[in-house]
Each structure stands twice: as C-alpha cells, then as structure tokens.
Amino acid sequence: MAMQEPVARQGGSDPAGRATRDAVPLHGAAEEARLRAVHDLRLVGSTAEERFDRVTRIARELFDVPVAEINLVGEAEQFTKSPQPAGVSLLSDRTQSFCDVTIRGPEILVVPDATQDARFADRTTVTGPRHIRFYAGRPLLSGGQTVGTLCLVDTEPRDLAPAQEKLLDEMGAWVERELRDTRDEEIAGDIQRRLLPVDRPLWPDFDLAGISIPARGVGGDFYSWGEDADGLHVTMADVMGKGAGAAILASAVRSGFQAHRGPDAARTVTAVQAQLQSDLDATETFATFLHCRIDGSTGRFAYADGGHGLTVLLRADGAHEMLPALGLPLGVVPDASWSAATGELRPGDRLLAFTDGALDLFDGSLDSVAPLVELVRTAGDAAETVGRIADASAAAAARGTL
C-alpha cells in the first residue's frame, strides 16, 4: 500500500476529514510559556497517584486498548505520569512521541495506522518495540497552556467512532480538573510556604528551626513561632483534611494564635477557639494543636495540647519523654477549655514537635517515634535536624512509602 501523505498542514484535514498538524518544532515565547506551565504543575518525576491512574485504568477498559497514558511533554523528554499498564519507562524522547504532535493543536489527534502516516511512520515508537499502529490523543490544558495529553495506543490499526472521540474528550476534561486542582494547590502551597517563619529568635540560648513537607502542594499542617520581651511562642497545628480547603482554615488558625499570643498558653487557646468556632462548625472541621510558651531566661515552658500528642522532650543525657495531650482539638466541642502543663528545657535538651506525616517516614505507627528520636538525637543544631528529616522524607518518597 502507498503511504498516505497528510493533505494539509495545521488547519487542514486527513483523508478521513480530521484536522492535521505538522511536526514543526515549537519554539520562542509560546513554547517557553508552555514549559513554565508544565514545570509549575510539579508533576514531572513524581510518583503514581490514584487520581490520575483511575482515569487511565478506566480509559483502557472503555476503549479496549492495551495502553492508555497521561503524558506531560517537557523540553526534550516526555514524562508518563500515569501509564496503563504500569511498569513501562516513564521518560521517553519527545521527538519520537505522538504526543509531541498532539500538543500543537486544540483538537483530538487520531492516527488509525501510523505506518501509513508520513508524520509517524519512521519514528522509533512505530518501528521499534512499542510497535504503535493506532494512536488517539486528547490535548490537556493547564493555566491556558497545553501541557500534555491523555492518549490511547494499540499495536493494531483501528479507528475511533464519533461517540468514542466525544468520550475521550470528556475524559480529558476529567484529567484537566485534576491538573487544575494541582495548579491551584501549588499556588496556595507557595503562599503557605511564604507564611512560614524564617527569622531566627533573638534569644541566644535557643536554636530553632522547622520544616513543612506536605504530601501534595498544600495541606492543613503548619508551624509558627514568635517572641516577646520575655520569651518564645511556638505553635504547631494540623487541620483535618487535605488540599486548599484545609490550607485556608490552617491560615485562619495560624492568624488566631498570632493574634492572641500571651503569657498564659491555655488562655491563648481559649481565645483562638472563641474566634474560630463558627468557622470550624460551618466546615465541620477540627484542628489538633500544640501551643507552647518558653521563658527565654529560665528555659521553663508551659504548653497546651489539643489532641496533638506528638511532642517529644529529649534530654541531654539521652532520655526522652512524650508530652501528653491535655484536651480536645479546636472545633470539637463549643466552649471547650484547656489547661496548661509545664516543663523545663535545660542546656542540651531538645523539644521536637511534629505532625502524623512524620510517622510515615517509617512504619506510620507510634513505633516510628523511636527511630525519629534517634534521627534527631544525633544531629548537630536545629538546622541539621530538619535537614535530616528532609533527607528521610526524600528517601521515603523514592521508596514509594510516603
């Protein structure tokens, strides 16, 4: 059979009446903007996520194809965010991909038989082990830029009926909603990261550092600190839920604690509860917390703990103790009250507060406190401590256990 040449370039049509587009390289300001949109998603190189995998899994079944993928197209490589079946190489040469052509136009690209299409017949994805014959790709947009595709692949020639093209378009819209959530969370996450404290306290006898590594771009965990004439105030909280909604409420909780700082930790918490109770009721949300005030001259501290229970006092001699929770989280019971417990930080002691995500660095249970304590105990200063936790988080993510 003679190879069919596309009868027109971008805006034309193939023999089946579908629009075609040329493989002229994208360049200039438009491509730079597109690549920024890909980068801003922060998904290239990321691990598998069920919110994407369920789309490709369903697509593979509905269209009865051996392969369905969500691909993000970078400058030189294509990253397969969600491959079905799993286990394929996640990085491939952009110049040999079909998706590199799909992203050049707004419409679905359908290739019934790649061996009969001059744009693709000589590509290694056709002549090599993948043996692609049929391809259908739906461009995916994020922030107004085409960042990748939802695509279907078969090793046998075939076509898509109009109803199937419509279904593929609808499934592409589903993926775009997930990408939009990702983009919104990254924007919110960037704002949230900017709100984290960066100034070190002026008290020379204390060393303080913190780190926040949300599972996605944004979450409901936060920490903050500040100081007054007599000492330090440290707060950590975990708002129920994930994503932008939890982050919004976390910002409100953070502002509440900052507004009501004072010498009495329990009174501070009661004031925060009064300020936020209507918001927490309306959203059916609660927040666990630790709020601690440390006297800068004596090292004595008073703390209120509402359902947090994840604070460890490490003594310089190697002993350690968990500080118990003293009450309910914010938002559980209207007009709740809290009491404060006291303790003392002596030279060489450390106070470690963390949320439950830190337990996932190990087995996720309270048994993880022991290896976490050991990780912290052998660190030098506070900055090295959080650096070790960041390294442990990266290692857990690489193992796929985080």
The band of 365, judged by pLDDT with boundaries at 50, 70 and 90, is confident
Domain assignment present for 310: yes
Domain that holds residue 177: 28-189
Domain assignment present for 10: no
The reply to whether 201 and 267 lie within a common domain is yes
CATH code, 204: 3.60.40.10
**Choice between 93 and 393, residue whose per-residue pLDDT is larger:** 93
The band of 73, judged by pLDDT with boundaries at 50, 70 and 90, is very high
Domain assignment present for 52: yes
**pLDDT (tens digit per residue) in 123-165:** 999 999 999 999 999 999 998 999 999 999 999 999 999 999 9
- Domain end among 129, 163, 189: 189
The reply to whether 255 and 319 lie within a common domain is yes
Predicted confidence at residue 193, as pLDDT, reads 67
- Domain end among 189, 216, 243: 189
Predicted confidence at residue 8, as pLDDT, reads 25
With beta carbons less than 8 A apart as the criterion, state whether 264 and 310 touch.
no
Domain assignment present for 291: yes
The reply to whether 141 and 236 lie within a common domain is no
**pLDDT (tens digit per residue) in 312-322:** 999 999 999 99
Q: Across the chain, what does the average pLDDT equal?
A: 86
The reply to whether 87 and 214 lie within a common domain is no
Domain assignment present for 392: yes
The reply to whether 184 and 276 lie within a common domain is no
Q: Say how many domains are in the chain.
A: 2
**pLDDT (tens digit per residue) in 205-234:** 888 899 887 665 566 888 899 888 888 999
Domain assignment present for 271: yes
The reply to whether 134 and 211 lie within a common domain is no
The reply to whether 348 and 248 lie within a common domain is yes
The residue type at 167: L
The reply to whether 174 and 207 lie within a common domain is no
- The model carries a pTM of 0.59
- Domain end among 189, 206, 230: 189
Predicted confidence at residue 362, as pLDDT, reads 86
The reply to whether 154 and 207 lie within a common domain is no
Predicted confidence at residue 348, as pLDDT, reads 92
The reply to whether 216 and 354 lie within a common domain is yes
Domain assignment present for 2: no
CATH code, 104: 3.30.450.40
The reply to whether 368 and 329 lie within a common domain is yes
The reply to whether 184 and 207 lie within a common domain is no
